Amino acid sequence: MISPTLKRLAVLALPMAALAVTTNVHAEEWTPSRSIEFVAPANPGGGWDTLVRTVSRVLQEEQLAERNFAAINVPGGGGAVAWAQIARDSGNPHKLFATSPPMILVPLAGASRYDHTDFTPVARLITDYSIILVSANAEYETINDLFDALKENPRLSVGGGSAPGSMDHISVAGLASAAGLDASSVNYIPFSGGGDAMTNLMGGHVEAVITGAGEAAGQLGEGSQLRALGVSAPERLTGSLADVPTYQEQGVDYTFDIWRGVMGTPDMPEEAVTYYENLFAEMLETDGWQQARDQLGWIDAYQSSEEFGDFLDQQKELFSDVLSELGLLRQ
């Protein structure tokens, strides 16, 4: 039986906030004077990287931004290396970074001296979901097949692109608990990003990989070397993931939402925050964004800077309970 705390992961909010934004031009309105460094705190191929490159491409194609958004990868420490660099650039309005649950989880686990309160929330953009992948020639056809094998042989491992106690680990731990295993018994192997985790899966170094559905979408389909066993959404996704059953369809009562958004440097000027809020809200209404979003199986979940900040505080409370249950909370 899934514990009450892990079950609470299913209630991560999905508000479809109205995208009405004040766009009146004022004389003091800020605009960027050079290219914006848009940091993905991981190697290429993961969820942060996918968000950064998709947003940068859509902004350019839709001609929404005055300056180019330059995608930059800064891997290491489940995000901690990038956060340490960004923290030293206080007040810089030309630097942004992609964020998601590890921004809360990694500091709680004691792996980063910086947490979300050290940076400037800009906007939440979307919600993604977790997906379990195995090699196409693996013997597992369902989530239950995989977890039966894990029960039989606890040495079998599940890889992920985030640090222990971070997003992928929490997601698979909750799933394992819902499937009747002790969450702490899952042999989770962390890699430096989703791309690295996939490489190790194909090399036979792990039995399965848990990653973001969006980043896996382009690697599935006819002729793929991967097979998706299930997705953490409450109902089936669209596009290339339409044939992937949910966990709930397979009798495992569990969902997990991966929110993704954008944050800025410490003490980013208020007028710069307003500029980016408006820019991202406008982007979400474009055809280019909606096409990319649907291909990746994302769901719009916009929040303004203030709303996103409040949401992050709530996430810290929730995940503190989860990590405590797994014995991973820094004391």
* Domain membership flag for residue 331: no
Residue 152's CB: how many other CB atoms inside 10 A?
8
Of 250, 279, 312, the last residue of a domain is 250
Residue-wise pLDDT tens for the chain (331 aa)? 555 555 555 444 444 444 444 444 443 689 999 999 999 999 888 889 999 999 999 999 999 998 999 999 999 888 999 999 999 999 999 999 999 999 999 999 898 999 999 999 999 999 989 999 999 999 999 999 999 999 999 999 999 988 788 889 989 988 998 898 888 889 999 987 888 898 999 999 999 999 988 888 877 877 788 999 999 999 998 877 889 999 999 999 999 889 999 999 999 999 999 999 999 999 999 999 999 998 888 899 999 999 999 999 999 988 887 788 777 787 6
Rounded to 5°, angle at Cα 170 from 172 and 127:
90
Q: How many domains, the chain?
A: 2
**pLDDT number for residue 215:** 80
**pLDDT number for residue 116:** 97
234/39 Cα distance (integer angstroms): 30
Of 192, 217, 250, the last residue of a domain is 250
Same domain flag for 123 and 183: no
Same domain flag for 188 and 263: no
**pLDDT number for residue 8:** 54
Q: In 12-116, which residue ranges form alpha helices assigned H by DSSP?
A: 47-61, 80-87, 102-108
Of 250, 276, 311, the last residue of a domain is 250
* Cβ-Cβ contacts under 8 Å for 289 (sequence gap 6 or more): 58, 62, 283
129/141 Cα distance (integer angstroms): 20
Same domain flag for 194 and 291: no
Asked whether 209 and 197 are in contact (CB, 8 A), the reply is: yes
Helix (H, G, I), strand (E, B) or coil at 282: helix
pTM tops 0.85, yes or no: no
* Domain membership flag for residue 330: no
Strands 157-160 and 187-190: parallel
DSSP letters spanning 90-132: TT-TTEEEEE-THHHHHHHTTS-S--GGGSEEEEEEEEEEEEE
Same domain flag for 88 and 172: no
